[in-house]
Chains A and B, each alone.
Chain A
Amino acid sequence: MKESIKKPVLAVGPFHPLQEEMEFFQLTVDGEIVTDIDVRISYNHRGIEKISETLQFDQVPYLVSRICGICSASHPLAYVQAVEEIAGITPPERALYVRTIINELERIHSHMLWVGLAGHFIGYDTVFMWAWKYREPVLDLLEEITGNRNNYGNVKIGGCREDVPNEIIGKMLKELDALEKKTDMLTKAVLDDPVLHARLKGVGILSYEDAVKYAVTGPTARGSGVAIDVRRDDPYAAYADLDWNVITQPEGDVFAKAVVRLLEVFESIKIIRQAAKKLPDGPIAVEVKEIPAGEAVGHTEAPRGETFHYVRSDGGNRPVRHKVRAPSFVNVPSFKASCIGEEIPDVTITLAAVDPCYSCTERLAVIDENNKIVHDYETLLKLSREKTAKMKKEML
């Protein structure tokens, strides 16, 4: 066969009807097996880093909270911590606790969102309905505290914009008790389900060595046994005062990542309970005057992994450089290690397993050598679901 004859390529993207943002995966396939993967991104490039150089220091948090609708607490916090490091600002104690509570509520709703979508991908729509229903009260709490279900814009240089009012704490703890019970039921259902074991175990394995080489972060790393978590490794907000665990699983497959996320929901609930109990009285912000010249890095543990910001100031009122690295930027390229050798029905869930701020697949088509479309998005989702159904049947 001549080099010029192209191998069949399965195009996933650039638009996906289920998850936000756009990415384009081109999977080279040999029959049902994926032999290579190429990722194209930046269909949604908004030039945030350049815009940031035109804004004043105190305006930037509102810009970076719009990088991602789900991680809209982690990005501004990473930025604000970098600026506070340049200016030597220490926010008041209460602000640190409020930041902790908001960030953990964000983690809970993000992980529940993923669990629901993962269920949907493999044809477990009940999981989807449950998980998203349990997520709602968390969003309502965030709305009650900050005014918004997403894009809270609650962190500012020197502290927080809105306080967690003492009156809301009782309600918050009650909601978390209810959520804990439901998540416990959901987790047990997932861990006990033989079909899910068969469907997700051994699928899309990212080995420990590859996880280190691709420098992945968050549940993607922890699901491969790499015990890193910025909250523990470089404590910020109030995490150093609280008692919680870093969840890891050694297997590196999709199942391990699901388990990590589910168990992390319990840790988040634990963190919020302690933070609510210890919440000190006092102001939630200090006055900030000028930001001196200097440079600093700030990083936080977003639901998907480490969010990293670098800020440089020349002593003016705007940053001269502001670099943002979201966790998906390192997690997504690890597909090169986890998808190759997998079957097409398993790739849908492997691509979803890193919880990429993912996007995109109305225009998903498998094309054979004659350029004829053999699968589109619908039939691929069907393939994935049929495989689950077949396994289920065989087990009964």
Chain B
Amino acid sequence: MNQEELKNKISEIKDKLESIEQPLENRMYLTCKAENNYDISKFLFEDVKARFVTVTGIDAEHCFEVLYHFSYDQTSCVITVKAIISDRENPSIESITSILPAAEWIEREIHDVLGIDFKNHPNMRRLILSDDWPEGVYPLRKEIKK
């Protein structure tokens, strides 16, 4: 696929997206609601054949953002799916580990540092926090002082 075909392919899932931004020719940001992320990530990995890179969790004060980064290496395009979680009290999102084992660690890490629950994750143990770290304290949340 060239970049034009890639854009057309991605527009197939337009109705699941809130917006598509393209600040540079080879950087795409797809914003969606948290509940649509699983389908979009599955589409990018299985249909577009994009390579999974990693996930970034962000405490954006009024909501949480979970950014799934994919790379479509044929056209140098980095595609970022920006899933917005508006429920700050019980933040949760569907895990994509079942389709992409590569996401297992990073989802555990985000669960550790931001307290986001990844539903249907096969192994939600702590990854980077030590066993004696207190429950319910999430170091990357903004209320934790630097």
Contact = CB atoms under 8 A, between A and B. Distances in A.
Interface residues of A, number: 35
Interface string B62-102: 00000101010110101010000000000000000000111
Contacts of A297: 27, 69, 78, 80
Contacts of A42: 127-130
Contacts of B140: 49-50
Interface size class on chain B is: 20 to 34
B127 A214 contact: no
A312 B80 CA distance: 13
Interface of B: 23-24, 26-27, 29, 51-54, 56, 58, 67, 69, 71, 73-74, 76, 78, 80, 100-102, 104-106, 127-130, 139-140, 146
Interface stretch (A130-138, A228-236, A374-382): A228-236
A213 B69 contact: no
Given A41-B127, A308-B69, A329-B105, 18 more contacts: A42-B130, A49-B140, A53-B146, A213-B100, A213-B101, A215-B53, A297-B80, A299-B78, A306-B53, A308-B54, A310-B67, A321-B56, A323-B54, A323-B56, A325-B53, A329-B106, A330-B102, A333-B104
Contacts of B56: 310, 321, 323
Given A42-B127, A49-B140, A228 B73 contact: yes
Interface string A315-346: 00000010101000110010010000000000
Pick the 6 closest A-B CB pairs, nearest first: A215-B102, A234-B76, A42-B128, A325-B54, A323-B56, A233-B73
B102 A333 contact: yes
B146 A321 contact: no
Contacts of B74: 233
B25 to A, nearest CB: 11
A296 interface: yes
Contacts of B106: 325, 329
A6 interface: no
Interface string A242-279: 00000000000000000000000000000000000000
B77 to A, nearest CB: 8
A333 B122 CA distance: 14
B105 to A, nearest CB: 6
B57 to A, nearest CB: 8
Contacts of A295: 29
